[in-house]
Structure formats: C-alpha cells, structure tokens
Amino acid sequence: MDDEIQKLYQLVFKVAKHFLEQFELFSIQELAEHNEPTYEEVAKRAKRLAEIISVFAEHGDWNNERVVLNAKQAALYMEKMALAISENKNEDLAQAAQCLQKMDFI
C-alpha cells in the first residue's frame, strides 16, 4: 500500500512542480490562455488525488499522515494559484506560488 501512496504522491509533486515552472515562464495573462486543461481543472484533479491518497493512507502507518497533509496542502496552493489566474490577481498568484515553493516534499 505504501508504494501506491508514494506513486500517487509523486504525481501531486509533479503537478505542483509544473505549476511552479509555468508560473516562472509565463505572465498571468498567458497562463489564463492555457486551457487544455485549465489550471483550475488541473488543481481540482490534484485535490481529488490528495483525497485518494488520504483514503489509502488510512490503512497505512502514521508516516503517511505527513504525505497526506503535504498532498492536500500542495493541492490547496495550486487551487489558489488557479483562482488567482482566473481572476487575474497577480499578487495572489505570486503569494500562492511562493507558499508552494516553500513546501518540503518528502
């Protein structure tokens, strides 16, 4: 079970890394034009993935709690970034990206 949790967690990590890379490369207007899928859709999927990790982790040991919390927190910051992009709020986007960058991924 722990291997599956780690694989799912790595997916969340890859998505978070992608969000940060895109933030560095593009302006908020350019990010808003990326729509296949939108950042909101990707963030929603990351949140669902974090919820799946949580369900799997319930059957593991306590070390998985940190993985679950990290996945949920990363998904939350990605949601905030996506919302800032859709609302054209550059400051909010930068703040959420900064929080995501500071996260320690296991």
In this predicted structure, the answer to whether residue 1 has a pLDDT above a threshold of 70 is no
Q: What is the count of structural domains for the chain?
A: 1
Q: What are phi and psi of 82, to 5 degrees?
A: -65, -40
Contact call for residues 65 and 4 (beta carbons, < 8 A) = no
In this predicted structure, the answer to whether residue 59 has a pLDDT above a threshold of 80 is no
In this predicted structure, the answer to whether residue 106 has a pLDDT above a threshold of 60 is no
Q: Mean pLDDT throughout 63-86?
A: 92
Contact call for residues 87 and 39 (beta carbons, < 8 A) = no
The pLDDT of residue 2: 75
| Farthest CA pair distance, the chain | 43
C-alpha to C-alpha distances, 20 to 27, 44, 81, 99, nearest whole angstrom: 12, 16, 10, 11
Residue 35 structural domain: 2-102
User: Which residues are CB-neighbours of 1 under 8 A, at least 6 positions away?
Assistant: 56, 59, 60
Q: Where are the alpha helices (DSSP H) in 1-106?
A: 2-25, 28-33, 39-57, 63-86, 90-102
Q: Mean pLDDT throughout 76-84?
A: 97
Contact call for residues 53 and 67 (beta carbons, < 8 A) = yes
Q: What is the pLDDT of residues 2-16, one digit of tens each?
A: 788 889 999 999 999
